[in-house]
Structure formats: structure tokens, C-alpha cells
Amino acid sequence: MNQQGSRESVVKAKEFELMTMNVYIGLLKKYPEVKVELRKKIIGKSNVTREIDVYAEVPLGPHIYRTVIECKDYKGNIGIEKVQEFLGKLQDLNVDKGILVTKSGYTKPAKEFAKKHGIDLIELRKPTEEDWGGRVKTIHVQMNIYYPEIYDIELKTGRKELVGKKMEGWANELIIIDENGNPYKNLSKIIQENINNDRTEEEKTVNVIFERPYFLKTDGEKIPVKGISFKYRFHRTPEEIVIDGERTV
């Protein structure tokens, strides 16, 4: 590829990233406090700086739901190798959701691997006449959006000053470490892993007991933590989405 072709490829890739970000912002317009950034740089657990094509943070109660979107402006289908690379990035960044977006499509092994690891695969491009064959161009979708309200977060510890103390607002900041001082997870991640995604509006209480010694590090001190407890319930928000195929980018 000559220099001019290389520049054009870079420009097209950036345009695709910008288009993806704008589409994602449109999908999240229900959340006024959402923050979406283009080409954000984040340092992962490996201390390697990762550049994220599109990065989003959605406040959901005390938790900040973090999504990483990677754009692939390729002509051919995305193979399993690219999805595996993306999974490695997600694990290093310790985020909640990963989304791959391309104009072309994905191979069957790539789809199977992504499904197994909870990665969303999106195809974003202009529709062709072949795509419209036998299909309607305007769709009205009635949907319910569910989000969890998480509250009454407490640490299970013998320290009197922490017994019964609510940790709302600190779920993303408080880091649990192991006996060697290595980071384990923040409270927010532990909570998300222990929510039953049944979307019921009934209040539930969750008690998480750690199987090995963990500690909360504060002001240079390690406080033994046996587990955490919290309550949650799902809230339902009905919404109608109108998809106008003629205006799809």
C-alpha cells in the first residue's frame, strides 16, 4: 500500500470510529449522565497503556458500568484471532462489557468464541438493496430496559468502625487485595458478579463470603475482610425505539 492509500485507510478508520460512537450515544440517550469518549487511553492491570476506540461509562446506582468498543474497518470477515486479542484487552482493563464493531462480518469460530466470553459482535454499515429484500424499512420496537439499583453495601469485617457502615458511593474506589498485597477486585466488580440477572423488581439480599483471606487497604493499613453484603432490585423503564432503515448509516 502506498503512502496516500495508507493515509486514506487511517482516515476511513477514524470516520468509522466516529460513526460508531455517534450511534452508541444515540442508543444511550436515555441516560443523561452517560460519558462516551473517542480514542481514550487507559492503563490496564499489566501497566500497559491501551487506546480504546470508543469508551463509555454509564452510572447505574453506585456502579459505573464501563464498556469498551473496538472498531474494525475491514473488508473481510473478522476471524477468531481478533476476538481473542480483544478478550485479552478486556481482561487487562477489567471492564464490564466489550463490543466489537465491523462493516464486514464475522467468521463462525469468531461468533462462537465471542458468545462463550460474553462479547457482543456488531455489524455496522449502510444497507444494500439485497439487505432490504423481503424486509420492512421502518420498525417500531417496544422494549423494557432494566437496570439494577444497588444499596446497603457493607463489608464483613471485625473492625468496629466499619461494622454496619454503608459503602454506597465507594464501590468503584475501594480495592480488595490478597495477603501479598496484590489487587483482587473492587467492590463494584464483586457486586456485579453476584447479581442474579433475573430482572425481577423484588428486593434481594446477597451475602458474599470470601474463600481465602482478603483485605481492604486504607491509609497503608490492611483490614481483614471476610466478605460483603448488599441489597438490590431491578427497575423497569418502558421505551419505544423507531428504526428508520432509510436513515441507517
- Per residue in 45-86, pLDDT (tens digit) is 899 999 999 999 988 777 788 899 999 888 889 999 999 999
Burial (CB < 10 A; 0-12, 13-18, 19+), residue 14, is middle
Instruction: Give me the domains of the chain, ranges plus CATH numbers.
Output: 3-125 (3.40.1350.10), 144-237 (no CATH)
- pLDDT tier for residue 186 given thresholds of 50, 70 and 90: confident
Residue 224 and residue 214: Cα distance in Å, rounded? 6
Neighbours of 214 (CB within 10 A): 20
- Average pLDDT of the segment spanning 173-197: 81
As a residue count, the chain comes to 249
Top-ranked range on mean pLDDT: pick from 11-15, 17-21, 192-196: 17-21
In degrees, to the nearest 5, what angle opens at C-alpha 82 toward C-alphas 103 and 35? 65
Distance of CA 200 to the CA centre of its chain: 22
Helices 108-116, 80-93: crossing angle, 10 deg rounding: 20
- Average pLDDT of the segment spanning 102-116: 91
In degrees, to the nearest 5, what angle opens at C-alpha 26 toward C-alphas 54 and 150? 80
Alpha helices in the chain, H assignment, sequence order: 3-27, 80-93, 108-116, 129-132, 187-193
Distance of CA 146 to the CA centre of its chain: 15
Report whether 234 contacts 147 (CB < 8 A): yes
The continuous run of DSSP H or E covering 153 comes out as strand 138-156
Distance of CA 24 to the CA centre of its chain: 12
Look up cell 490478597; give the residue. Answer: 178
Query: Does the predicted TM-score (pTM) go above 0.75?
Result: no
